[in-house]
Chain A
Amino acid sequence: MSYISLSDKDKKEMLARIGISSMDELLISVPDHIKLKKSLRLLPPLSEPELVRHFQELGDKNSYSHYLSFLGAGSYDHFIPAVVDYLSSRGEFVSPYTPYQAEVSQGTLQIMFEFQTLICQLTGLDIANASLYEGATAAAEAVLMAHRLKEKPKVLVARSLHPQYREVIKTYVCNLPIKAEELDCASDGGLDLDDLKKKLAEGVSGVVVQSPNFFGAGEDLRAAAELAHSHQALFIVVVAEAASLGLFQAPGILGADIVTGEAQSFGLPPSFGGPFLGFMACAKEFVRQLPGRIAGQTVDVEGKRGFVLTLATREQHIRRERATSNICTNQALCALRATVFLETLGQEGLKELAWQNVQKANYALGKLTGLKGVRRKFSRPVFNEFVCEFPKDWDGIHRSLKKKGIVGGLGLGELYPELRNCALFCVTEVHRKEDIDRLVQAVEEALR
């Protein structure tokens, strides 16, 4: 099966129109010594029923979905209203390209414009782009943007930024005249503001802080922003759990110049890590340095409102090596899902979502730390993730939980050697009270 629509007669007539008699003649420009002499060694083709069965069997090799899971750390389980899947599966949204021809792409463009508006409202900033790949590369793009704006060699990156995001920033800057330096974590789980003060000497383009941070804790963004600004550095806030924006004050209001991160929580399933949805917003004066596509409002020749891709002189297809980013294809359909999700939940729904996450996580935190020997590691208030310290090695507890059908938290010992015997738990609105109680009981049994 190759989804071809030509009959044998069509092929023959078409070759005749071209003025040749065989397919081989069509490929005359490919030198013979390069041409494949035999056919590719691939699995024999499968029919639709065979293919479905094949993938069902592959799916059956994933036992994860049978477990009660409390994993978060950059990928979150939230309810997805049916309307999100339904509307985002429409061929009119799934099968067009980037809306280069605005007159036949108004649906995609208006939704991009609405998405940008929603991101601005959530982050408290003036301008947002139409999406980036995912949170980690978005954070790296923010670092590059800060460097373009300030041209100072250093960026400061909080140790409590998602470890994978820090790794990606490192990969991106190592070929450029930018040095990423780490900011310590204070004993309450937040950014060490004294360390920030110390490292904010001359030569810092930007300060990157995640909130809620990797440990689930809300940061004191206002204090960090003031420090950054007092040294002419840009303040970049990374939001990896976008659901927190339903309740936490908008980072832009607290002094962020750039807010970037991951919006997977808005209607995208965990999907084994992708496709996700990077986003970025910034203050108005920085718009010319913003990476990625942007939709803008305009009018047609009759004066009617319409939308187009705009400010393209920032982009690679016009500016080539001087572009703000190399990004071309982004995550448009993921942004559309987020737009349906946010517009369906609305003001009240998003707040309720965030509130339930806070309540359930704090209930779980209270119950777990009620167990003998289990400690709340950090005192800062948390959104839907928290760190517990256990009286013994986490791996043993993890194995014991798995036997009971539970994927507990994420052990932190490898990522943060100072957090040996610690694990990061994520509790969202998808967890019922009895799920949490089951986890707590299993941990209690594992500790006996």
Chain B
Amino acid sequence: MIREPLIFEISAKGKRGFSFPRLDVPAENDVLRGLPLRDGIEGFPQVSEIEVTRHFTRLSQTNHCIDIGFYPLGSCTMKYNPKLNEKIAALPAFASAHPLADADLVQGNLEILKTLEESLCEMTGMDAFTLQPAAGAHGELTGMMLIRACLTDRGNPRRFVLIPDSAHGTNPSSAHICGYNVREVKSNENGTIDVDSLAREMTDDVAALMVTNPNTLGIFEADICAISEIVHKKGGFIYMDGANMNALTGIARPREMLVDVIHLNLHKTFSTPHGGGGPGAGPVGVRKTLEPYLPVPVIGKKAGRYVLDFNRPKTIGRVRSFYGNFLVIVRALAYILTLGAEGLREMSEIAVLNANYIRKSLEGEYHLKYTCPTLHECVFSDKFQKEFGVQNIDIAKRLIDYGVHPPTMSFPLIVHGALMIEPTETESRRDLDMFIEAMKQIAREARENPELLKSAPHLSYVRRLDETRAARAPVLRWEPVSEAEK
């Protein structure tokens, strides 16, 4: 395979890939007098358009992606990204709209925002939504800020936030940036929150419990109502991390779980592309009590027209510029309008069916620490394979040779050597079976030829990469090689 160089290594003086129209106003050379200007940009690339095209096309061919094959990365909900939604988001009426245009010139955009807010309210049972947060973690921070603002209003923001030990790392980090200290709640032998220890931890100084439901093991927190009542009784709030709503949409609503605040990930449940790590969107829904604190602006309606409402005395303020990742929002609404209520319920049901099919098919081959029923994902571990000196990373890397993206590794932290598998609803039986066969084959290889796994992957563009070296002696940018070094 051709090794694709860095663009800087094929750059040569004077080349360019784009030409501008001739300047059609008289040039004035001294308009920037007094400002320090730069004399070129050292090392900046100079290449032709075909060189750029080949560079990115070749690099693209080294990526695994949903469009190529199975991508069961747990907690990430790697479902198919409908092409139709890409086409709609690219319509010039949406893509070219300036965010500071008068509201009367962008009524269509405001209607899209409002319609998505209302749809998400219906799906979750919340009373209001803000679509501003740019991703899940940003939603968590926004949600925690709402709780803090409300408690501050009541006289005491409190000091602690409770978070289960199975939670995603963004939860404690978001709580911390919101000025809270984190107290970990231990999971019980079923992998869920232990109600008694929660009751002990829940004091008058706890602002909220952040809970993921179903949790990161794919297990539904069946005691959620009892848990919520304990927290509410002490004046705290329930924050639900809705990253796993792909398991519950149309089946159960956070409202009935007595949740006060929730964020959703449009790039998970609502099919918007992950883009190699973003952009996403992390809308936040709240109950009435917290609505006055929502970030500005809020989309309102006045005399049949949509307006941006900035007059919100209790607002936490702005959490970002403008109104959110609008083109992501457009895609999510297109998805919801395509599926409708029945389609959304089917989406969740099949996501659960596919995950349980994989779980059942691999039980016995891989260790399952928690055996209670799971929903949209299942978490195995490398315990059986460890006997042969094989770890989860070796299993993951060997899967690459079978044309499958590895599951999420080493998370949640309460399962040592975790392999977290989330197939999503869009996979075919054939792809599920291919994955199951690959996993079984790898389990055999672990017994018979562990070296094959430890030296995997064998068939990828690069072989196993040295991550320790990358961190110990960081090379984080390209630098020109001087003549002397050459």
Interface contact B134-A133, CB-CB below 8 Å: yes
Across the interface, which residues of B come within 8 angstroms of A410, CB to CB? Answer: 100
A35 at the interface (CB under 8 A from B): yes
Give Cα A176–Cα B408 distance, bound, in whole angstroms: 33
Given A36-B250, A308-B467, residue A134 in contact with residue B137 (CB < 8 A): no
Interface contact B464-A271, CB-CB below 8 Å: no
Across the interface, which residues of A come within 8 angstroms of B31, CB to CB? Answer: 358-359, 362, 381-382
B84 at the interface (CB under 8 A from A): yes
Give Cα A79–Cα B95 distance, bound, in whole angstroms: 13
Interface flags for B90-129 (1: CB within 8 Å of A; 0: not) read 1111111111111011111101100000010011000000
Interface contact A299-B342, CB-CB below 8 Å: no
Give Cα A253–Cα B475 distance, bound, in whole angstroms: 21
Within 1-54 of B, Cβ neighbours of A (below 8 Å) are at 3-4, 6-8, 11, 14-21, 23-28, 31-38, 40-47, 49, 52-53
Interface contact B26-A58, CB-CB below 8 Å: no
Interface contact B172-A274, CB-CB below 8 Å: no
Interface contact A34-B352, CB-CB below 8 Å: no
Interface contact B172-A114, CB-CB below 8 Å: no
Closest chain B CB from A108 CB (angstroms): 4
A418 at the interface (CB under 8 A from B): no
| 8 Å CB contact of B349 from A26, A69, A136, A301 | A26
Give Cα A326–Cα B94 distance, bound, in whole angstroms: 30
Give Cα A29–Cα B217 distance, bound, in whole angstroms: 13
B465 at the interface (CB under 8 A from A): yes
Given A14-B357, A52-B87, A248-B37, residue A36 in contact with residue B323 (CB < 8 A): no
Across the interface, which residues of B come within 8 angstroms of A71, CB to CB? Answer: 98, 100-101
Give Cα A82–Cα B404 distance, bound, in whole angstroms: 32
Extra inter-chain contacts (10) besides given A102-B462, A168-B319, A171-B145, CB under 8 Å: A14-B354, A51-B88, A64-B98, A94-B81, A118-B44, A253-B38, A274-B328, A317-B170, A346-B15, A382-B31
B304 at the interface (CB under 8 A from A): no
Given A45-B340, A62-B93, A87-B53, residue A300 in contact with residue B400 (CB < 8 A): no
A96 at the interface (CB under 8 A from B): yes
| 8 Å CB contact of B278 from A65, A131, A352 | A131
B341 at the interface (CB under 8 A from A): yes
Across the interface, which residues of A come within 8 angstroms of B352, CB to CB? Answer: 26-27
Closest chain B CB from A152 CB (angstroms): 18
Chain B: interface residue total (CB-CB under 8 A)? 207
Interface contact A334-B169, CB-CB below 8 Å: no
| 8 Å CB contact of A299 from B179, B321, B469 | B469
Interface contact A320-B173, CB-CB below 8 Å: yes
A157 at the interface (CB under 8 A from B): no
Interface contact A296-B470, CB-CB below 8 Å: yes
Interface contact B37-A247, CB-CB below 8 Å: yes
Interface contact B465-A308, CB-CB below 8 Å: yes
Across the interface, which residues of A come within 8 angstroms of B145, CB to CB? Answer: 171, 175
Closest chain B CB from A264 CB (angstroms): 10
Interface contact A336-B276, CB-CB below 8 Å: yes
Chain A: interface residue total (CB-CB under 8 A)? 202
Give Cα A89–Cα B45 distance, bound, in whole angstroms: 22
Interface contact B170-A326, CB-CB below 8 Å: yes
Closest chain A CB from B97 CB (angstroms): 4
Closest chain B CB from A326 CB (angstroms): 4
Interface contact A359-B23, CB-CB below 8 Å: yes
Interface contact A294-B476, CB-CB below 8 Å: yes
| 8 Å CB contact of B66 from A65, A95, A222 | A95
Give the 7 A-B residue pairs with the shortest CB-CB distance, closest first.
A273-B322, A333-B275, A59-B93, A45-B340, A273-B99, A91-B67, A61-B108
Interface contact B322-A272, CB-CB below 8 Å: yes
Within 247-268 of A, Cβ neighbours of B (below 8 Å) are at 247-250, 253-254, 262
Give Cα A146–Cα B411 distance, bound, in whole angstroms: 31
Segment among B219-227, B231-239, B382-390 that sits at the interface with chain A: B219-227
Given A3-B82, A69-B101, residue A340 in contact with residue B41 (CB < 8 A): no
Nearest A residue (CB) for B374: A29
Closest chain A CB from B152 CB (angstroms): 9
Among A2, A41, A312, A356, find the residue whose CB has the most chain B CB atoms closer than 10 A.
A2
